[in-house]
Amino acid sequence: MTAAGKLPRWAEFALLPLINLVVAFVLAGGIVRLLGENPWQALRLLVAGAAGSQDAIGYTLYYATNFIFTGLAVAIAYHAGMFNIGAEGQAYIGGLGMGLAALWLGDASRWVVVPLAILAGAGFGAAWAFVPAWLQARRGSHIVITTIMFNFIASALMTYLLVNVLIKPGQQSPETREFGAHAFMPAMHAVLAKVGLTFAPTPFNFAFVLSLIAALLVWIFVWHTRWGYAFRVTGQNPAAAVYAGIAPPRIIIGSMLLSGALAGGLGLNELLGAQHRLIIDFPGGAGFVGIAVSLMGRNHPVGIVAAALLFGALYQGGSQLAFDLPKINRDMVVVIQGLVILFCGAMENLLRAPLTRAWARFARTAPAE
């Protein structure tokens, strides 16, 4: 009965996203053409800018790290049926916790500072997610609305704190003093140098490895523990969850806490890894890109890592593109990213129906049937 309208897994997880990506690029190419630039040259520059050198790769992976954390944050909530739009704000407030811990602990041992900073980041991120989660679970306030609003509150709060409270005395830009060196994530070129490999110095740092570990843990949690099972039951069929004795309000709150904690991981890369201080607006939209990454990655850690790498490449290659082609500016790059999000996330069903029909026709004529 269900054979109708089903794609084989390889088509679902590889072919369809690929086709969506190609369509997005073709459209973006058309826009580039309208602007009077050569789309092929733009594509070459984009690819070279994202992966053409050690520098490029380093930056691509650095951006991708942010997107892995926020993508995982969105995904884990999504499995429980929660559409968390607030990863941006949770990452921001999580960063506050991480920064405060790093500043407060000063020059204590690395083995004290880093774990506590991670805990503080996760805890602050989770706390910021708790309020919308509680409102959804106990009062029925829609999570999408409240998390969006909490992004604005987070932004305003952080601006206030950085401008008025945490700012390093005697300077103009709203940022704290630098963390103690023990709080820094090791840079990857330094790590690689220790094992005898040379890599260009970039902001690419050890947080990338931690993000992959986080992806592995999310995979284990969602598909191999009973709590993850309870998340998925609640997300797929809340009535069945109640029937099974799972209390949806607890799952809503639990999933949002984990989501906020994962979003807080962004600070590992951005603050402990790259900036080494708390600065204004450091998430830079990564929380929103995480939504696209999670959607495109089918909410699966492997897909999320792949999609995060793609978006990291778009970020890094895109800035190169804006640098090299005078008629293409930073906003144009955002348009290209927007098209990818549009086709791979929001409109992924646009091409699913024709592809499914084509597949059904093919499957029927194939002799195996």
Partner 1 sequence: MPPGTPAPALAEIPALELRGIDKRFGSVHANRAVNLSVARGSVHGLIGENGAGKSTLMNIVYGFHRADAGEVLVNGHATNLHAPHDAIAAGIGMVHQHFMLVENFTVLENVILGVEGGALLAAGLARARTELAQLARDYALEVPLDETVADLPVGLQQRIEILKALYRRADILVLDEPTAVLTPQEADALFAMLRRLRDEGKSVILVTHKLREIMAVTDRVTVMRQGAVVANLATVETSPRELAEKMVGRPVLLRVEKAPAQPREPLLSVRALEVRDRFGVARVKQASFDVCAGEIVGVAGVSGNGQSELLETLAGIRAPTSGAILLGGRDLIAERLDPRARRKLGLAHVPEDRLRMGVVASFSAEDNVILGYQDRPSYRRGALLHHRAIRAECEKMMAEHDVRPPSPRLRITAFSGGNQQKLVLAREIESAPEVLLVGQPTRGVDIGAIEFIHRRLIALRDAGKALLVVSVELEEILALADRILVMHAGEIIGEVPRAEATEERLGLMMAGVKREADA
- What are the residues binding partner 1 (CB under 8 A)? 1-6, 220, 224-226, 229-230, 232-233, 236-237, 239-240, 242-247, 360, 363-364, 369
Looking at the Cβ atoms of 18 and 240, the one nearer to partner 1 is 240
Looking at the Cβ atoms of 231 and 315, the one nearer to partner 1 is 231
Looking at the Cβ atoms of 9 and 194, the one nearer to partner 1 is 9
Smallest separation (angstroms) from partner 1 to the CB of 252: 16
Looking at the Cβ atoms of 87 and 230, the one nearer to partner 1 is 230
Smallest separation (angstroms) from partner 1 to the CB of 269: 28
Residue with structure tokens 């969602």?
A: 222
Alpha helices in 106-168 (DSSP H): 110-139, 143-160
**Residue 166 to residue 110: CA distance in whole angstroms:** 23
**Residue 216 to residue 212: CA distance in whole angstroms:** 6
**Residue 288 to residue 346: CA distance in whole angstroms:** 13
**Residue 70 to residue 282: CA distance in whole angstroms:** 13
Kind plus residue range of the DSSP H or E element containing 293: helix 286-296
**Residue 72 to residue 64: CA distance in whole angstroms:** 12
Smallest separation (angstroms) from partner 1 to the CB of 16: 17
Looking at the Cβ atoms of 213 and 244, the one nearer to partner 1 is 244
Q: Tell me if residue 131 falls in helix, strand or coil.
A: helix
Looking at the Cβ atoms of 183 and 230, the one nearer to partner 1 is 230
Looking at the Cβ atoms of 71 and 235, the one nearer to partner 1 is 235
Smallest separation (angstroms) from partner 1 to the CB of 201: 41
User: What's the sign of the alpha-carbon dihedral 75, 77, 82, 88?
Assistant: negative
Smallest separation (angstroms) from partner 1 to the CB of 251: 12
Phi-psi region of 236 (alpha: psi -120 to 50; beta: other; left: phi over 0): alpha
Burial of residue 227 (CB within 10 Å: 0-12, 13-18, 19+) is middle
Smallest separation (angstroms) from partner 1 to the CB of 357: 9
Looking at the Cβ atoms of 139 and 364, the one nearer to partner 1 is 364
Contact 263, 91 (CB under 8 A): yes
Smallest separation (angstroms) from partner 1 to the CB of 220: 7
Contacts of 255 (CB under 8 A, 6+ apart): 76, 77, 79, 80, 82, 133, 231
What angle (nearest 5°) sits at the alpha carbon of residue 159, between those of residues 155 and 311? 50
Smallest separation (angstroms) from partner 1 to the CB of 234: 10
Contacts of 315 (CB under 8 A, 6+ apart): 60, 63, 337
